[in-house]
Structure 1
Amino acid sequence: MSNPIVERSLDEIRFWSRIMKEHALFLSLGFTYEQTQLIAEAKQFITLFERIEEKLARFNVNSDLQRVKSFNNEVYQAAVAIWGYKRKVLGLTLRCEIRSNNYPLLVDHISREAAYFANRLRDLNEGKLAPEPDTIIQENLFFLRIMADHAKFIGHLLDPSERKLVDQARDFSHDFDQLVFQAIDLDSMRPQSETVPLMDQFLDQNRVSVVSLRDFKKTARELIEACRIKSNIHPLLADHTFREAERFLEIIDLFDSHLSGGR
Protein backbone atom coordinates (compact mmCIF):
# COMPACT_ATOMS: atom_id res chain seq x y z
CA MET A 1 0.00 0.00 0.00
CA SER A 2 1.37 3.43 -0.94
CA ASN A 3 2.43 5.92 1.72
CA PRO A 4 0.39 9.18 1.59
CA ILE A 5 3.56 11.24 2.18
CA VAL A 6 5.20 9.57 -0.81
CA GLU A 7 2.14 10.04 -3.00
CA ARG A 8 1.72 13.72 -2.07
CA SER A 9 5.44 14.46 -2.40
CA LEU A 10 5.61 13.10 -5.93
CA ASP A 11 2.46 14.98 -6.88
CA GLU A 12 3.85 18.28 -5.57
CA ILE A 13 7.17 17.78 -7.34
CA ARG A 14 5.47 16.77 -10.59
CA PHE A 15 3.33 19.90 -10.66
CA TRP A 16 5.67 22.53 -9.23
CA SER A 17 8.91 21.47 -10.93
CA ARG A 18 7.28 22.09 -14.28
CA ILE A 19 6.01 25.45 -13.01
CA MET A 20 9.53 26.42 -11.81
CA LYS A 21 11.04 25.42 -15.16
CA GLU A 22 8.50 27.56 -17.00
CA HIS A 23 9.14 30.51 -14.66
CA ALA A 24 12.80 30.40 -15.63
CA LEU A 25 11.80 30.36 -19.31
CA PHE A 26 9.42 33.31 -18.93
CA LEU A 27 12.07 35.35 -17.09
CA SER A 28 14.65 34.59 -19.79
CA LEU A 29 12.24 35.75 -22.50
CA GLY A 30 11.56 38.98 -20.61
CA PHE A 31 15.18 40.09 -20.23
CA THR A 32 16.75 42.45 -22.75
CA TYR A 33 19.48 41.25 -25.09
CA GLU A 34 22.39 42.66 -23.05
CA GLN A 35 21.32 40.95 -19.81
CA THR A 36 23.28 37.85 -20.79
CA GLN A 37 24.25 36.77 -17.26
CA LEU A 38 20.67 36.79 -16.00
CA ILE A 39 19.54 34.90 -19.12
CA ALA A 40 22.29 32.31 -18.60
CA GLU A 41 21.24 31.83 -14.96
CA ALA A 42 17.61 31.35 -16.03
CA LYS A 43 18.69 28.70 -18.53
CA GLN A 44 20.64 26.90 -15.80
CA PHE A 45 17.43 26.65 -13.78
CA ILE A 46 15.58 25.29 -16.79
CA THR A 47 18.21 22.54 -17.01
CA LEU A 48 18.10 21.94 -13.24
CA PHE A 49 14.35 21.36 -13.17
CA GLU A 50 14.46 19.26 -16.32
CA ARG A 51 16.89 16.95 -14.48
CA ILE A 52 14.55 16.85 -11.52
CA GLU A 53 11.71 15.83 -13.85
CA GLU A 54 13.94 13.06 -15.25
CA LYS A 55 14.69 11.78 -11.73
CA LEU A 56 11.02 11.98 -10.81
CA ALA A 57 10.23 9.44 -13.54
CA ARG A 58 12.20 6.84 -11.52
CA PHE A 59 9.77 7.10 -8.59
CA ASN A 60 6.25 5.79 -8.07
CA VAL A 61 3.71 5.74 -5.23
CA ASN A 62 5.28 2.53 -3.88
CA SER A 63 8.79 4.02 -3.65
CA ASP A 64 10.68 3.87 -0.36
CA LEU A 65 9.71 6.72 2.00
CA GLN A 66 13.29 7.59 2.98
CA ARG A 67 14.36 7.65 -0.66
CA VAL A 68 11.50 10.03 -1.45
CA LYS A 69 12.37 12.22 1.53
CA SER A 70 15.95 12.44 0.25
CA PHE A 71 14.61 13.47 -3.16
CA ASN A 72 12.36 16.04 -1.46
CA ASN A 73 15.45 17.54 0.17
CA GLU A 74 17.21 17.74 -3.18
CA VAL A 75 14.23 19.45 -4.83
CA TYR A 76 13.82 21.71 -1.78
CA GLN A 77 17.35 23.03 -2.37
CA ALA A 78 16.50 23.71 -6.03
CA ALA A 79 13.31 25.56 -5.03
CA VAL A 80 15.22 27.68 -2.51
CA ALA A 81 17.87 28.43 -5.13
CA ILE A 82 15.38 29.63 -7.75
CA TRP A 83 13.59 31.64 -5.06
CA GLY A 84 16.89 33.42 -4.35
CA TYR A 85 17.42 34.08 -8.06
CA LYS A 86 13.93 35.52 -8.43
CA ARG A 87 14.38 37.78 -5.40
CA LYS A 88 17.70 38.96 -6.83
CA VAL A 89 15.99 39.85 -10.12
CA LEU A 90 13.25 41.65 -8.20
CA GLY A 91 15.80 43.66 -6.22
CA LEU A 92 17.69 44.66 -9.37
CA THR A 93 14.41 45.74 -10.95
CA LEU A 94 13.14 47.74 -7.97
CA ARG A 95 16.50 49.54 -7.65
CA CYS A 96 16.30 50.33 -11.40
CA GLU A 97 19.62 48.54 -11.94
CA ILE A 98 18.00 46.62 -14.79
CA ARG A 99 15.10 47.31 -17.13
CA SER A 100 13.26 44.36 -18.56
CA ASN A 101 9.84 43.22 -19.71
CA ASN A 102 9.32 41.31 -16.45
CA TYR A 103 6.85 43.20 -14.25
CA PRO A 104 8.07 43.53 -10.63
CA LEU A 105 4.75 42.06 -9.45
CA LEU A 106 5.26 39.08 -11.75
CA VAL A 107 8.75 38.45 -10.35
CA ASP A 108 7.40 38.75 -6.80
CA HIS A 109 4.50 36.45 -7.77
CA ILE A 110 6.75 33.67 -9.05
CA SER A 111 9.06 33.99 -6.05
CA ARG A 112 6.06 33.46 -3.76
CA GLU A 113 5.29 30.26 -5.66
CA ALA A 114 8.88 29.04 -5.22
CA ALA A 115 8.65 29.70 -1.47
CA TYR A 116 5.33 27.83 -1.33
CA PHE A 117 6.86 24.84 -3.16
CA ALA A 118 9.85 24.74 -0.81
CA ASN A 119 7.60 24.97 2.26
CA ARG A 120 5.37 22.15 1.01
CA LEU A 121 8.39 19.85 0.63
CA ARG A 122 9.67 20.78 4.09
CA ASP A 123 6.24 20.12 5.65
CA LEU A 124 5.94 16.75 3.93
CA ASN A 125 9.35 15.68 5.15
CA GLU A 126 8.19 16.61 8.67
CA GLY A 127 5.16 14.36 8.19
CA LYS A 128 2.63 17.19 7.91
CA LEU A 129 -0.03 15.99 5.51
CA ALA A 130 -3.53 16.74 6.86
CA PRO A 131 -4.43 20.45 6.81
CA GLU A 132 -5.52 22.37 9.89
CA PRO A 133 -8.16 25.17 9.70
CA ASP A 134 -5.41 27.80 9.93
CA THR A 135 -3.59 26.13 7.06
CA ILE A 136 -6.73 26.02 4.94
CA ILE A 137 -7.28 29.76 5.24
CA GLN A 138 -3.64 30.64 4.62
CA GLU A 139 -3.30 28.29 1.65
CA ASN A 140 -6.48 29.65 0.10
CA LEU A 141 -5.22 33.18 0.72
CA PHE A 142 -2.00 32.30 -1.11
CA PHE A 143 -3.88 30.92 -4.13
CA LEU A 144 -6.48 33.70 -4.17
CA ARG A 145 -3.68 36.22 -4.43
CA ILE A 146 -2.09 34.16 -7.22
CA MET A 147 -5.39 34.19 -9.13
CA ALA A 148 -5.77 37.96 -8.61
CA ASP A 149 -2.25 38.47 -9.96
CA HIS A 150 -3.00 36.31 -13.01
CA ALA A 151 -6.01 38.46 -13.86
CA LYS A 152 -3.86 41.59 -13.61
CA PHE A 153 -1.12 40.12 -15.81
CA ILE A 154 -3.63 38.99 -18.44
CA GLY A 155 -5.22 42.44 -18.50
CA HIS A 156 -1.86 44.15 -18.97
CA LEU A 157 -0.55 41.73 -21.60
CA LEU A 158 -3.64 41.83 -23.81
CA ASP A 159 -3.53 44.35 -26.62
CA PRO A 160 -5.47 47.50 -25.57
CA SER A 161 -7.74 47.01 -28.57
CA GLU A 162 -9.09 43.80 -26.99
CA ARG A 163 -11.39 45.95 -24.88
CA LYS A 164 -13.92 43.30 -23.88
CA LEU A 165 -11.26 40.84 -22.71
CA VAL A 166 -9.35 43.60 -20.91
CA ASP A 167 -12.56 44.54 -19.07
CA GLN A 168 -13.20 40.91 -18.15
CA ALA A 169 -9.66 40.54 -16.79
CA ARG A 170 -10.11 43.74 -14.77
CA ASP A 171 -13.37 42.41 -13.32
CA PHE A 172 -11.68 39.15 -12.31
CA SER A 173 -8.84 41.12 -10.71
CA HIS A 174 -11.36 43.10 -8.64
CA ASP A 175 -13.33 39.98 -7.65
CA PHE A 176 -10.24 38.13 -6.46
CA ASP A 177 -8.89 41.16 -4.61
CA GLN A 178 -12.17 41.16 -2.68
CA LEU A 179 -11.81 37.44 -1.94
CA VAL A 180 -8.28 38.08 -0.66
CA PHE A 181 -9.59 40.70 1.76
CA GLN A 182 -12.41 38.38 2.78
CA ALA A 183 -9.89 35.63 3.56
CA ILE A 184 -7.84 38.04 5.66
CA ASP A 185 -10.97 39.03 7.59
CA LEU A 186 -11.93 35.39 8.13
CA ASP A 187 -8.46 34.58 9.39
CA SER A 188 -8.78 37.41 11.93
CA MET A 189 -12.31 36.75 13.20
CA ARG A 190 -12.65 32.97 12.93
CA PRO A 191 -14.06 31.51 16.20
CA GLN A 192 -12.24 28.28 17.00
CA SER A 193 -15.43 26.40 17.88
CA GLU A 194 -17.23 27.15 14.62
CA THR A 195 -14.63 26.48 11.98
CA VAL A 196 -16.52 24.02 9.76
CA PRO A 197 -19.59 26.13 8.74
CA LEU A 198 -17.40 29.17 8.07
CA MET A 199 -14.86 27.11 6.13
CA ASP A 200 -17.55 25.40 4.06
CA GLN A 201 -18.93 28.76 2.96
CA PHE A 202 -15.43 30.11 2.35
CA LEU A 203 -14.43 27.16 0.16
CA ASP A 204 -17.72 27.22 -1.77
CA GLN A 205 -17.32 30.91 -2.60
CA ASN A 206 -13.74 30.37 -3.70
CA ARG A 207 -14.67 27.39 -5.86
CA VAL A 208 -17.33 29.32 -7.80
CA SER A 209 -14.96 32.21 -8.51
CA VAL A 210 -12.02 29.98 -9.46
CA VAL A 211 -14.17 27.94 -11.85
CA SER A 212 -15.20 31.16 -13.63
CA LEU A 213 -11.60 32.36 -13.88
CA ARG A 214 -10.40 28.90 -14.97
CA ASP A 215 -12.95 28.90 -17.80
CA PHE A 216 -11.91 32.41 -18.83
CA LYS A 217 -8.27 31.30 -18.93
CA LYS A 218 -9.20 28.21 -20.93
CA THR A 219 -11.00 30.33 -23.54
CA ALA A 220 -8.12 32.82 -23.66
CA ARG A 221 -5.61 29.99 -24.08
CA GLU A 222 -7.56 28.53 -27.00
CA LEU A 223 -7.90 31.94 -28.67
CA ILE A 224 -4.20 32.69 -28.23
CA GLU A 225 -3.19 29.30 -29.63
CA ALA A 226 -5.48 29.89 -32.63
CA CYS A 227 -4.10 33.44 -33.09
CA ARG A 228 -7.60 34.87 -32.71
CA ILE A 229 -6.78 37.58 -30.18
CA LYS A 230 -4.04 40.21 -30.03
CA SER A 231 -1.72 40.04 -27.04
CA ASN A 232 1.84 39.67 -25.77
CA ILE A 233 0.83 36.47 -23.95
CA HIS A 234 3.01 33.46 -24.78
CA PRO A 235 0.80 30.40 -25.45
CA LEU A 236 2.73 28.49 -22.77
CA LEU A 237 2.01 31.26 -20.25
CA ALA A 238 -1.71 31.01 -21.03
CA ASP A 239 -1.58 27.27 -20.39
CA HIS A 240 0.57 27.82 -17.28
CA THR A 241 -2.01 30.07 -15.61
CA PHE A 242 -4.82 27.68 -16.58
CA ARG A 243 -3.01 24.77 -14.90
CA GLU A 244 -2.55 26.79 -11.71
CA ALA A 245 -6.29 27.51 -11.57
CA GLU A 246 -6.95 23.78 -12.01
CA ARG A 247 -4.49 23.12 -9.19
CA PHE A 248 -6.33 25.52 -6.89
CA LEU A 249 -9.61 23.71 -7.57
CA GLU A 250 -7.97 20.38 -6.69
CA ILE A 251 -6.73 21.86 -3.42
CA ILE A 252 -10.17 23.28 -2.58
CA ASP A 253 -11.63 19.80 -3.12
CA LEU A 254 -8.87 18.30 -0.96
CA PHE A 255 -9.63 20.70 1.89
CA ASP A 256 -13.38 20.18 1.49
CA SER A 257 -12.89 16.43 1.74
CA HIS A 258 -10.74 16.85 4.86
CA LEU A 259 -13.37 19.03 6.54
CA SER A 260 -16.12 16.55 5.64
CA GLY A 261 -14.11 13.76 7.22
CA GLY A 262 -13.72 15.77 10.38
CA ARG A 263 -17.47 16.21 10.94
Structure 2
Amino acid sequence: MSTAFVVRSLDEVRFWSRIMKEHSLFLRLGFRAEDKQLINEANHFYSTFEAIESRANGMNAGADPQTIQRFNVEVHSAVTQIWAFKRKVLGLILHCQLPGANNYPLLVDHTSREAFYFRNRLEELNTGRLDPLPDAIINENVFFLRIMADHAKFIGHLLDPSERKLVDQAREFSEDFDKLVFQAIDLESMRPQSQTPPLLDQFLDQNRVSVQSLRDFKKTARDLIEACRIKSIIHPLLADHVYREAERFLHIIDRFEAALTGKE
Protein backbone atom coordinates (compact mmCIF):
# COMPACT_ATOMS: atom_id res chain seq x y z
CA MET A 1 0.00 0.00 0.00
CA SER A 2 1.14 3.51 -0.82
CA THR A 3 0.16 7.16 -1.05
CA ALA A 4 -1.63 6.33 -4.32
CA PHE A 5 -3.79 3.82 -2.42
CA VAL A 6 -4.68 6.48 0.17
CA VAL A 7 -5.50 9.12 -2.44
CA ARG A 8 -7.61 6.76 -4.54
CA SER A 9 -9.47 5.39 -1.51
CA LEU A 10 -10.31 8.84 -0.16
CA ASP A 11 -11.44 10.00 -3.58
CA GLU A 12 -13.83 7.06 -3.94
CA VAL A 13 -15.17 7.34 -0.40
CA ARG A 14 -15.69 11.11 -0.57
CA PHE A 15 -17.58 10.92 -3.84
CA TRP A 16 -19.67 7.81 -3.24
CA SER A 17 -20.47 8.40 0.44
CA ARG A 18 -22.10 11.68 -0.58
CA ILE A 19 -24.01 9.83 -3.28
CA MET A 20 -25.19 7.20 -0.76
CA LYS A 21 -26.22 9.96 1.66
CA GLU A 22 -28.31 11.63 -1.03
CA HIS A 23 -29.85 8.32 -2.09
CA SER A 24 -31.10 7.97 1.48
CA LEU A 25 -32.78 11.36 1.23
CA PHE A 26 -34.37 10.67 -2.17
CA LEU A 27 -35.74 7.31 -1.03
CA ARG A 28 -37.14 8.87 2.15
CA LEU A 29 -38.91 11.58 0.16
CA GLY A 30 -40.55 8.87 -1.96
CA PHE A 31 -42.00 6.91 0.96
CA ARG A 32 -45.56 7.39 2.21
CA ALA A 33 -46.23 9.08 5.56
CA GLU A 34 -47.24 5.73 7.07
CA ASP A 35 -43.94 4.06 6.09
CA LYS A 36 -42.38 5.13 9.38
CA GLN A 37 -39.96 2.19 9.67
CA LEU A 38 -38.60 2.73 6.15
CA ILE A 39 -38.32 6.47 6.80
CA ASN A 40 -36.39 5.81 10.00
CA GLU A 41 -34.05 3.41 8.18
CA ALA A 42 -33.45 5.98 5.43
CA ASN A 43 -32.69 8.64 8.06
CA HIS A 44 -30.25 6.25 9.74
CA PHE A 45 -28.37 5.71 6.49
CA TYR A 46 -28.33 9.44 5.80
CA SER A 47 -26.63 10.05 9.16
CA THR A 48 -24.27 7.11 8.65
CA PHE A 49 -22.96 8.31 5.30
CA GLU A 50 -22.90 11.94 6.36
CA ALA A 51 -20.53 10.88 9.14
CA ILE A 52 -18.43 8.79 6.72
CA GLU A 53 -18.22 11.71 4.30
CA SER A 54 -17.14 14.04 7.10
CA ARG A 55 -14.44 11.62 8.29
CA ALA A 56 -13.11 11.16 4.75
CA ASN A 57 -12.97 14.92 4.22
CA GLY A 58 -10.90 15.21 7.40
CA MET A 59 -8.21 12.86 6.07
CA ASN A 60 -5.48 13.61 3.54
CA ALA A 61 -2.86 11.93 1.35
CA GLY A 62 -0.49 11.69 4.31
CA ALA A 63 -2.79 9.34 6.22
CA ASP A 64 -1.45 5.95 7.29
CA PRO A 65 -2.39 3.39 4.58
CA GLN A 66 -3.37 0.81 7.22
CA THR A 67 -5.72 3.34 8.80
CA ILE A 68 -7.32 3.92 5.41
CA GLN A 69 -7.57 0.18 4.84
CA ARG A 70 -9.48 -0.22 8.11
CA PHE A 71 -11.64 2.78 7.20
CA ASN A 72 -12.47 1.14 3.87
CA VAL A 73 -13.61 -1.98 5.73
CA GLU A 74 -15.94 0.13 7.90
CA VAL A 75 -17.34 1.90 4.85
CA HIS A 76 -17.74 -1.43 3.04
CA SER A 77 -19.95 -2.67 5.90
CA ALA A 78 -22.16 0.43 5.73
CA VAL A 79 -22.45 0.19 1.94
CA THR A 80 -23.41 -3.49 2.19
CA GLN A 81 -26.18 -2.53 4.61
CA ILE A 82 -27.61 0.25 2.45
CA TRP A 83 -27.44 -2.05 -0.60
CA ALA A 84 -29.53 -4.63 1.30
CA PHE A 85 -31.98 -1.88 2.34
CA LYS A 86 -32.41 -0.74 -1.25
CA ARG A 87 -33.00 -4.31 -2.47
CA LYS A 88 -35.58 -4.77 0.32
CA VAL A 89 -37.39 -1.60 -0.79
CA LEU A 90 -37.30 -2.77 -4.40
CA GLY A 91 -38.87 -6.07 -3.37
CA LEU A 92 -41.65 -4.29 -1.49
CA ILE A 93 -42.42 -2.11 -4.51
CA LEU A 94 -42.42 -4.99 -6.99
CA HIS A 95 -44.69 -7.02 -4.71
CA CYS A 96 -47.12 -4.07 -4.58
CA GLN A 97 -46.66 -3.58 -0.83
CA LEU A 98 -46.03 0.18 -1.10
CA PRO A 99 -48.99 1.39 -3.20
CA GLY A 100 -48.94 5.15 -3.65
CA ALA A 101 -45.24 5.57 -2.87
CA ASN A 102 -43.20 7.66 -5.28
CA ASN A 103 -39.98 5.67 -5.77
CA TYR A 104 -39.73 4.19 -9.26
CA PRO A 105 -38.56 0.55 -9.20
CA LEU A 106 -35.85 1.41 -11.74
CA LEU A 107 -34.65 4.28 -9.56
CA VAL A 108 -34.33 1.99 -6.53
CA ASP A 109 -32.54 -0.64 -8.62
CA HIS A 110 -30.31 2.12 -10.02
CA THR A 111 -29.28 3.26 -6.54
CA SER A 112 -28.59 -0.34 -5.49
CA ARG A 113 -26.33 -0.87 -8.51
CA GLU A 114 -24.32 2.18 -7.49
CA ALA A 115 -24.00 0.82 -3.94
CA PHE A 116 -22.84 -2.54 -5.31
CA TYR A 117 -20.29 -0.74 -7.50
CA PHE A 118 -18.99 1.27 -4.51
CA ARG A 119 -18.72 -1.88 -2.39
CA ASN A 120 -16.77 -3.68 -5.11
CA ARG A 121 -14.43 -0.74 -5.56
CA LEU A 122 -13.57 -0.76 -1.86
CA GLU A 123 -12.82 -4.50 -2.06
CA GLU A 124 -10.61 -3.98 -5.10
CA LEU A 125 -8.66 -1.20 -3.42
CA ASN A 126 -8.11 -3.10 -0.18
CA THR A 127 -7.00 -6.29 -1.92
CA GLY A 128 -5.01 -4.53 -4.66
CA ARG A 129 -6.89 -6.46 -7.34
CA LEU A 130 -7.77 -3.66 -9.76
CA ASP A 131 -8.76 -4.62 -13.30
CA PRO A 132 -6.11 -4.38 -16.04
CA LEU A 133 -6.59 -1.21 -18.10
CA PRO A 134 -8.43 -2.82 -21.09
CA ASP A 135 -10.90 -4.59 -18.78
CA ALA A 136 -11.35 -1.51 -16.62
CA ILE A 137 -12.18 0.65 -19.65
CA ILE A 138 -14.93 -1.68 -20.80
CA ASN A 139 -16.31 -2.50 -17.35
CA GLU A 140 -16.49 1.11 -16.18
CA ASN A 141 -18.14 2.25 -19.40
CA VAL A 142 -20.74 -0.53 -19.35
CA PHE A 143 -21.63 0.50 -15.79
CA PHE A 144 -21.66 4.28 -16.27
CA LEU A 145 -23.37 4.29 -19.66
CA ARG A 146 -26.31 2.45 -18.11
CA ILE A 147 -26.31 4.93 -15.23
CA MET A 148 -26.47 7.81 -17.73
CA ALA A 149 -29.29 6.09 -19.67
CA ASP A 150 -31.24 5.75 -16.42
CA HIS A 151 -30.71 9.42 -15.57
CA ALA A 152 -32.18 10.50 -18.89
CA LYS A 153 -35.25 8.33 -18.25
CA PHE A 154 -35.72 9.72 -14.73
CA ILE A 155 -35.45 13.31 -15.95
CA GLY A 156 -37.99 12.67 -18.71
CA HIS A 157 -40.47 11.14 -16.26
CA LEU A 158 -40.04 13.75 -13.52
CA LEU A 159 -40.40 16.80 -15.75
CA ASP A 160 -43.94 18.10 -16.03
CA PRO A 161 -45.57 16.66 -19.19
CA SER A 162 -46.19 20.21 -20.39
CA GLU A 163 -42.42 20.72 -20.74
CA ARG A 164 -42.66 18.97 -24.09
CA LYS A 165 -39.34 20.06 -25.60
CA LEU A 166 -37.32 19.12 -22.54
CA VAL A 167 -39.16 15.81 -22.26
CA ASP A 168 -38.33 15.09 -25.90
CA GLN A 169 -34.67 15.97 -25.30
CA ALA A 170 -34.54 13.62 -22.32
CA ARG A 171 -36.10 10.85 -24.40
CA GLU A 172 -33.52 11.38 -27.14
CA PHE A 173 -30.70 11.11 -24.60
CA SER A 174 -32.28 7.94 -23.22
CA GLU A 175 -32.34 6.36 -26.68
CA ASP A 176 -28.78 7.48 -27.44
CA PHE A 177 -27.40 5.99 -24.24
CA ASP A 178 -29.38 2.78 -24.64
CA LYS A 179 -27.57 2.33 -27.95
CA LEU A 180 -24.21 3.11 -26.35
CA VAL A 181 -24.91 0.56 -23.61
CA PHE A 182 -25.54 -2.16 -26.17
CA GLN A 183 -22.43 -1.15 -28.12
CA ALA A 184 -20.41 -1.43 -24.92
CA ILE A 185 -21.91 -4.84 -24.16
CA ASP A 186 -21.02 -5.97 -27.68
CA LEU A 187 -17.42 -4.84 -27.16
CA GLU A 188 -17.43 -6.61 -23.81
CA SER A 189 -18.57 -9.92 -25.31
CA MET A 190 -15.88 -9.70 -28.02
CA ARG A 191 -13.00 -9.42 -25.56
CA PRO A 192 -10.10 -10.06 -25.38
CA GLN A 193 -9.96 -9.73 -29.18
CA SER A 194 -11.79 -6.37 -29.00
CA GLN A 195 -9.31 -4.85 -26.56
CA THR A 196 -7.02 -3.17 -29.06
CA PRO A 197 -5.84 0.40 -28.39
CA PRO A 198 -7.51 1.81 -31.55
CA LEU A 199 -10.90 0.25 -30.71
CA LEU A 200 -10.74 1.28 -27.06
CA ASP A 201 -9.64 4.80 -27.98
CA GLN A 202 -12.57 5.19 -30.40
CA PHE A 203 -14.88 3.71 -27.76
CA LEU A 204 -13.81 6.36 -25.25
CA ASP A 205 -13.99 9.20 -27.78
CA GLN A 206 -17.52 8.29 -28.84
CA ASN A 207 -18.76 7.97 -25.29
CA ARG A 208 -17.12 11.24 -24.24
CA VAL A 209 -19.07 13.20 -26.88
CA SER A 210 -22.41 11.83 -25.69
CA VAL A 211 -21.61 12.20 -21.99
CA GLN A 212 -20.52 15.82 -22.50
CA SER A 213 -23.82 16.58 -24.24
CA LEU A 214 -25.83 14.92 -21.48
CA ARG A 215 -23.74 16.67 -18.82
CA ASP A 216 -24.50 20.03 -20.41
CA PHE A 217 -28.22 19.18 -20.60
CA LYS A 218 -28.19 18.21 -16.93
CA LYS A 219 -26.43 21.44 -16.01
CA THR A 220 -29.02 23.49 -17.89
CA ALA A 221 -31.86 21.55 -16.27
CA ARG A 222 -30.28 21.96 -12.83
CA ASP A 223 -29.88 25.71 -13.26
CA LEU A 224 -33.46 26.10 -14.55
CA ILE A 225 -34.86 24.04 -11.67
CA GLU A 226 -32.90 26.03 -9.07
CA ALA A 227 -34.21 29.26 -10.63
CA CYS A 228 -37.78 27.86 -10.71
CA ARG A 229 -37.92 28.46 -14.47
CA ILE A 230 -39.31 25.07 -15.50
CA LYS A 231 -42.12 22.86 -14.23
CA SER A 232 -41.09 19.56 -12.68
CA ILE A 233 -41.12 17.46 -9.53
CA ILE A 234 -37.32 17.12 -9.61
CA HIS A 235 -35.68 18.00 -6.30
CA PRO A 236 -32.90 20.57 -6.92
CA LEU A 237 -30.44 18.29 -5.12
CA LEU A 238 -31.36 15.41 -7.44
CA ALA A 239 -30.66 17.64 -10.44
CA ASP A 240 -27.21 18.44 -9.04
CA HIS A 241 -26.67 14.78 -8.06
CA VAL A 242 -27.06 13.46 -11.62
CA TYR A 243 -24.92 16.32 -12.95
CA ARG A 244 -22.06 15.36 -10.61
CA GLU A 245 -22.25 11.73 -11.71
CA ALA A 246 -21.88 12.77 -15.36
CA GLU A 247 -18.87 14.87 -14.38
CA ARG A 248 -17.44 11.84 -12.59
CA PHE A 249 -17.86 9.69 -15.70
CA LEU A 250 -16.10 12.29 -17.85
CA HIS A 251 -13.21 12.38 -15.39
CA ILE A 252 -12.93 8.58 -15.59
CA ILE A 253 -12.98 8.67 -19.41
CA ASP A 254 -10.22 11.29 -19.44
CA ARG A 255 -8.13 9.25 -17.01
CA PHE A 256 -8.50 6.16 -19.19
CA GLU A 257 -7.63 8.14 -22.31
CA ALA A 258 -4.44 9.43 -20.68
CA ALA A 259 -3.41 5.95 -19.55
CA LEU A 260 -4.24 4.40 -22.92
CA THR A 261 -2.23 6.93 -24.90
CA GLY A 262 0.66 7.08 -22.43
CA LYS A 263 0.08 10.74 -21.61
CA GLU A 264 -0.41 10.07 -17.90
TM-score, normalised relative to structure 2: 0.96
1:66 aligns with 2:66: yes
Q: After superposition, where does 1:79-90 map in structure 2 within 5 Å?
A: 79-90=79-90
- Structure 1 distance, partners of 2:262, 2:232, is 45
Residue aligning to 2:160: 159
Instruction: Structure 1: give runs of 5+ residues left out of the alignment.
Output: none
1:227 aligns with 2:233: no
- Structure 2 distance, partners of 1:130, 1:97, is 40
Q: Say how many residue pairs are matched.
A: 262
Does structure 2 conserve the Cα–Cα contact (< 8 Å) formed by 1:148 and 1:173?
yes
Residue aligning to 2:53: 53
Residue aligning to 1:103: 104
1:26 aligns with 2:26: yes
CA offsets per residue over residues 171-224 of structure 1, 9 Å max, x none?
000000000000011112245385211100000000000000000000000000
Secondary structure at the counterpart of residue 172 of structure 1: helix
Secondary structure at the counterpart of residue 215 of structure 1: helix
Does structure 2 conserve the Cα–Cα contact (< 8 Å) formed by 1:221 and 1:235?
yes
- Structure 2 distance, partners of 1:109, 1:129, is 23
Give the C-alpha shift of residue 82 in structure 1. Answer: 0.4
Does structure 1 conserve the Cα–Cα contact (< 8 Å) formed by 2:30 and 2:103?
yes
Give the counterpart letter for 1:162 in structure 2: E
CA RMSD of aligned residues (A): 1.5
Farther-moved stretch of structure 1 (157-166 vs 49-58) = 49-58
Give the counterpart letter for 2:52 in structure 1: I
Q: After superposition, where does 1:140-219 map in structure 2 within 5 Å?
A: 140-192=141-193, 195-219=196-220
- Structure 2 distance, partners of 1:84, 1:191, is 33
Residue aligning to 1:254: 255
Give the C-alpha shift of residue 83 in structure 1. Answer: 0.3
Does structure 1 conserve the Cα–Cα contact (< 8 Å) formed by 2:14 and 2:57?
no
Give the C-alpha shift of residue 47 in structure 1. Answer: 0.5
Give the C-alpha shift of residue 134 in structure 1. Answer: 1.8
Q: Judging changes above 3 Å, is the alpha-carbon distance between structure 1 residues 130 and 185 closer, same or farther for their aligned structure 2 residues?
A: closer
Secondary structure at the counterpart of residue 102 of structure 2: coil
TM-score, normalised relative to structure 1: 0.96
- Structure 2 distance, partners of 1:245, 1:131, is 23
Does structure 2 conserve the Cα–Cα contact (< 8 Å) formed by 1:203 and 1:256?
yes
1:123 aligns with 2:124: yes
Q: Judging changes above 3 Å, is the alpha-carbon distance between structure 1 residues 194 and 8 closer, same or farther for their aligned structure 2 residues?
A: closer
Residue aligning to 2:36: 36
Give the C-alpha shift of residue 10 in structure 1. Answer: 0.1
- Structure 1 distance, partners of 2:28, 2:195, is 47
Q: Judging changes above 3 Å, is the alpha-carbon distance between structure 1 residues 157 and 194 closer, same or farther for their aligned structure 2 residues?
A: closer
- Structure 2 distance, partners of 1:93, 1:193, is 39
**Runs (4+) of structure 1 moved beyond 6 Å?**
none
Give the counterpart letter for 2:53 in structure 1: E
Q: Judging changes above 3 Å, is the alpha-carbon distance between structure 1 residues 193 and 141 closer, same or farther for their aligned structure 2 residues?
A: closer
Instruction: Structure 2: give runs of 5+ residues left out of the alignment.
Output: none
1:113 aligns with 2:114: yes
Secondary structure at the counterpart of residue 144 of structure 1: helix
Give the C-alpha shift of residue 128 in structure 1. Answer: 3.4
Residue aligning to 1:78: 78
Percent of matched pairs sharing the same residue: 70
1:13 aligns with 2:13: yes
Does structure 2 conserve the Cα–Cα contact (< 8 Å) formed by 1:131 and 1:258?
no
Does structure 2 conserve the Cα–Cα contact (< 8 Å) formed by 1:30 and 1:101?
yes
CA offsets per residue over residues 26-51 of structure 1, 9 Å max, x none?
00000011001000000000010111
Does structure 1 conserve the Cα–Cα contact (< 8 Å) formed by 2:225 and 2:236?
yes
CA offsets per residue over residues 110-138 of structure 1, 9 Å max, x none?
00000000100110001135643122111
CA offsets per residue over residues 42-79 of structure 1, 9 Å max, x none?
00000101111222133101111111000001001111
Q: Judging changes above 3 Å, is the alpha-carbon distance between structure 1 residues 194 and 20 closer, same or farther for their aligned structure 2 residues?
A: closer
